[in-house]
Amino acid sequence: MSAQRNKYLQFGAAIAIIVVTLSYLAYTGVEESKSYYVTIAELRQQGDKAQEKRLRVAGNVLPGSIKRQGTTVEFVLVENEEHLPVIYKGTEAPPDTFKDDSQALVEGRFQSDGVFHANHLQAKCASKYAPKKDGEAESPAKTSAAPSSTSSTSKSK
C-alpha cells in the first residue's frame, strides 16, 4: 500500500509543480503586457518611476521632427507645449497616416536618457474623415450626387 501511496505523492507533486509554473508564466505575461496611458506632463512628473513601467503616450508629431533611418524612426511628440523625443523601433513600418502634425500614440518605455523608446506606433486617421466645418464648401463630386430638393412628385401635386 505504501508503494501506491508513494505514486500518488509523486503524481501530486508533479501536478503542483505544473500548476505553480503555469501560474508564474501567466502572472509574468500579464505584468509584461500591461501598459498605462499617461500624458507627457504626467510622464515628466513620475520621474524615475516612469522607467519601471510600459507606458502609452499620445501627442501631435512636431512638424519637421521625423527622421527615418531604415526601420528606426525618430520624432518629437508635442502636447500642451510639452515635448517628448521618441525613438520607434518596431517590427512594422509606421502607418501611412504618420506624418508631420498628425496625432500619434506610442507604446514602450521611458529611458533615463529622456527619450521614449517605442515598439508600437499608431497614427490617427487623416482629418478628411472628420465632419466639415461651417463655411467649407463640399467637393463637386458630393454636390452632384446629392438629391435635389424638388422632385417630380412634388411638382405634380
Q: pLDDT, tens digit, for every residue of 9-32? A: 888 899 999 999 888 888 777 666
Kindly state whether residues 40 and 117 are assigned to the same domain.
yes
Q: Which tens digit of pLDDT belongs to each residue from 44-96?
A: 777 777 677 788 888 888 888 888 887 788 888 888 888 888 888 877 777 77
Same domain, 72 and 23: no
82 plus 7 within the same structural domain: no
In a domain, 141, yes or no: no
Instruction: Indicate the pLDDT class of residue 112, thresholds 50, 70 and 90.
Output: confident
Residues 6 or more apart whose CB falls under 8 angstroms from that of 71 comprise: 89, 90, 93
For residue 73, being part of any structural domain is answered with yes
| Residue 30 shares a structural domain with residue 81 | no
**15-19, 69-73, 103-107, 126-130: segment of lowest average pLDDT:** 126-130
List the CATH number of the domain containing 69. Answer: 2.40.50.140
Indicate if the alpha-carbon torsion angle 110, 112, 115, 120 is positive or negative. Answer: negative
Q: Which residue has the higher pLDDT, 1 or 157?
A: 1
How many structural domains compose the chain? 2
Q: Which residue has the higher pLDDT, 149 or 11?
A: 11
Question: What is the reported pLDDT for 145?
Answer: 47
Nine cell digits for residue 72: 528606426
Q: Based on the domain organization, do 30 and 40 belong to the same domain?
A: no
Same domain, 118 and 41: yes
Whole domain around residue 7: which residue ranges? 1-34
Verify that 105 and 57 share a domain, yes or no: yes
Residues 12 and 43 in one domain: no
Q: Residue 57 contacts by C-beta under 8 Å, 6 or more apart in sequence?
A: 37, 38, 39, 40, 43, 77, 84, 105, 106, 116
In a domain, 104, yes or no: yes
Amino acid in position 14 = A
Are residues 21 and 49 part of one domain?
no
This model's pTM is above 0.85? no
Alpha-carbon radius of gyration of the chain: 28
The pLDDT value recorded for residue 18 is: 92
Whether 142 has a pLDDT exceeding 60, the answer reads no
Residue 155 has pLDDT above 80, yes or no: no
Q: Which three cell numbers stand for residue 26?
A: 501567466
Q: Are residues 2 and 13 in the same domain?
A: yes
Judgement on whether residues 121 and 67 belong to the same structural domain of the protein: yes
Asked if 73 and 115 sit in the same domain, the reply is yes
Joined together, the cell numbers standing for residue 29 give: 505575461
